[in-house]
Structure 1
């Protein structure tokens, strides 16, 4: 029986998490799947994990030792776990900044597709998604359902402070304020 691409991503996501857990590599599910676990729509692409920058080499070794195919792409801030036509990103630098251990420390262990794993904190998820906005990628349409689904879980005052230097992120906060998704967020 043929499995769908989504089922393949689910399986690879679980295998990646289990390999990192078994090797005691600190990590957290991040990105679209972390938001999905917290109520946002399910992403239609890859899954992402965050490891502290100092753990990148150990994460790569743990994944390879678990029999997963690890690919070192041209980018110097991630590696890819690949199987067939799907992949999982393991990231150690986000928006140009090294991933600090406190991001992983704030993660909450939750069940994800029947596997207990650390999932990035809601406020950190939103901050990371907003800080990725720039003149090359500014898709508010993908972020609106995330903000709507997670609005009660997020410390929006902290988000506003954290993204204050990114005009694209600030514009998104104005938008969700004006749409009534998170009233008052753009006034800090």
Structure 2
């Protein structure tokens, strides 16, 4: 019997293959995208982004591929479910519709023997930091990701993109104080 990690890895691959074969633009994002780039493997779900304009087609493609698709209460994602595992397919991130340019910046990488677009490291950090708020502010999950990806990230771009999120700004200051990255210049 597979454990949850094997199950989520299988579902991640099956979801990516279905989206690829269906011609839906997508990119692996979140913890598994960071893992592909050297961060620790997450212990929960996997996430994909699709452009908001492709959301309905993505759901149809996943369903047509024989995957179990659930429609959660949130109106910005769908869930692909297998056993105790799930993959989120999101068309909004941090309250904003996913635009094609975010997907276009993704790089094709092998993930568990399946080639797929993986979000750029700068975009991974930006989206993770923009998710920080008073209800979710767990720096302990972000610190290993930032350490692992630090040489792959354009930190000045991250700083500009998250400047309006005080939680993200504080995290960037923490990275500088800990010596994870050089202190970031301010405009």
Shared topology, TM-score over 0.5? yes
1:85 aligns with 2:54: no
Q: Aligned residue for 1:150?
A: 149
Q: Deviations over 1:59-102 (max 9, x none)?
A: 00000000000000000000000011110000000010000000
Q: Is the 8 A contact 1:41 1:145 kept in 2?
A: yes
- Equivalent positions of 1:104-119 (< 5 A) are 104-119=103-118
Q: Provide the aligned C-alpha RMSD in A.
A: 0.8
* 1:41 paired residue number: 40
Contact 1:80 1:88 in 2 (8 A): yes
**Number of the residue aligned with 1:31:** 30
Mapping 1:161-180, distance limit 5 Å: 161-180=160-179
Give the alignment's TM-score, normalised by structure 2. Answer: 0.99
Contact 1:20 1:62 in 2 (8 A): yes
Specify the SS of the correspondent of 1:10. Answer: helix
Deviations along 1:126-171, one digit per CA (max 9) or x if unpaired, are 0000000000000000000000000000000000000000000000
Q: Report how far residue 186 of structure 1 moved.
A: 6.0
Unaligned runs of 5+ in 2: none
TM-score (norm: length of structure 1): 0.98
Tell me: CA distance 1:166–1:186, structure 2 relative to 1, closer, same or farther (3 Å): farther
> Where does the alignment leave 5 or more consecutive residues of structure 1 unmatched?
none
